Amino acid sequence: MDGQAQGQPVPAFLWRERGVIPFLKVDKGLEAENSGVSLMKPMPSLDALLARAVKLGVFGTKMRSLINLPSQEGIAAVVAQQFEIAAQIAGHGLMPIIEPEVSIKSPDKAGAEAILLAELTRMLDALPDGRRVMLKLTIPDVPDFYSALTNHRSVARVVALSGGYTRADACKRLAANHGMIASFSRALTEDLNCSMDAVTFDAAVARAIDEIYEASTVKV
């Protein structure tokens, strides 16, 4: 974020010259699991970081929590923490991505998703007029399960994390969820390794991007 590209801060350069909207990861990692979830660690320097990000041309932020079990208490705490920090982020004029990841290894993933949907809806309904957030969610077991969120007045975009699914599986699941687009990292890079030459590497990245783009835009 603090680097320079052609005399501009890297975030500003990416946005103005390359059309890449810059987001900043702000969380400091996860606390130990409690009540079936892992909250985010404290971020005591967040305001200073956000002020720097604004000056350098960053558009928004992301921050990740983890849900392992369908715990009402735990999931409510995850969502409350995410929205509390999102309000702090929005206060700096940045777009917060709220990311309460449901583990694909959860023994009751669908149950956790049902609780998460209810908690997200409750918190979104309480946001002041004009406040918008993005949501980054694990692809649900039930297609279009989060469709109400994609249409919520306070949601700018719902994006999907791949969560450890293979790219083929993640793309198949994503294509069944209307209004949801990809924000994959693990699935994007699964075929890449440091021994590849530049041509092979570029071809693998291009192939992955094409597959993920199609799953984001061509729905079944």
Q: What is the mean pLDDT of residues 164-191?
A: 97
Asked if residue 149 is part of any domain, the answer here is: no
Q: Is there a domain that residue 217 lies in?
A: yes
In a domain, 152, yes or no: no
What pLDDT score does 74 carry?
98
Residue pair 104/112 in contact (Cβ under 8 Å)? The answer is no
| Catalytic residue (one of 99, 113, 119, 211) | 99
Do 100 and 180 lie in one domain? The reply is: no
Q: Are residues 117 and 19 in the same domain?
A: yes
Range of the domain at 70: 4-136
How far apart are the C-alpha atoms of 82 and 50, rounded to whole Å? 16
25 is catalytic: no
- Can you give the pLDDT at residue 68? 98
Give the active site residue among 62, 101, 119, 136. Answer: 136
Task: Write down the pLDDT at residue 81.
Answer: 98
64 vs 66: CA distance, rounded Å: 7
Asked if residue 132 and residue 24 are part of one domain, the reply reads: yes
Domain tally, the chain: 2
Query: Is 153 part of a structural domain of the chain?
Result: no
Verify that 10 and 81 share a domain, yes or no: yes
Same domain, 132 and 166: no
Backbone phi, psi, residue 40, to 5°: -80, 145
**pLDDT given at position 164:** 95
Mean pLDDT of 9-30: 97
Clarify whether residues 35 and 76 are in a common domain.
yes
Clarify whether residues 122 and 203 are in a common domain: no
Q: State the Cα–Cα distance between residues 29 and 32, nearest whole angstrom.
A: 10
Residue 146 lies in a domain: no
Q: Is residue 110 part of a domain?
A: yes
**Model confidence over 88-101: pLDDT tens digits?**
999 999 999 999 99
pLDDT confidence bin for 212, thresholds 50/70/90? very high
CATH number of the domain that 17 lies in? Answer: 3.20.20.70
**For the segment 107-165, what is each residue's pLDDT rounded down to a tens digit?**
999 999 999 999 999 999 999 999 999 999 999 999 999 999 999 999 999 999 999 99
Give 25's pLDDT tier (boundaries 50, 70, 90).
Answer: very high
Q: Taking residues 177-205, report their average pLDDT.
A: 96
**Has residue 141 been placed in a domain?**
no
Q: Are residues 96 and 205 in the same domain?
A: no
- On whether both 16 and 88 belong to a single domain, the answer is yes
Q: What value does the mean pLDDT take over residues 35-52?
A: 98
Residues 129 and 198 placed together within one structural domain of the fold: no
Q: What is the pLDDT of residue 155?
A: 98
For residues 9 and 106, membership in a common domain is answered with yes
Residue 151 lies in a domain: no
Asked if 36 and 67 touch (Cβ cutoff 8 Å), the reply is yes
What is the predicted pLDDT for the residue at 28? 97
Mean pLDDT taken over the chain: 97
Active site residue 99: yes
- For residues 125 and 202, membership in a common domain is answered with no
| CA dihedral sign of residues 42, 43, 45, 47 | negative
Write down the pLDDT at residue 199.
98
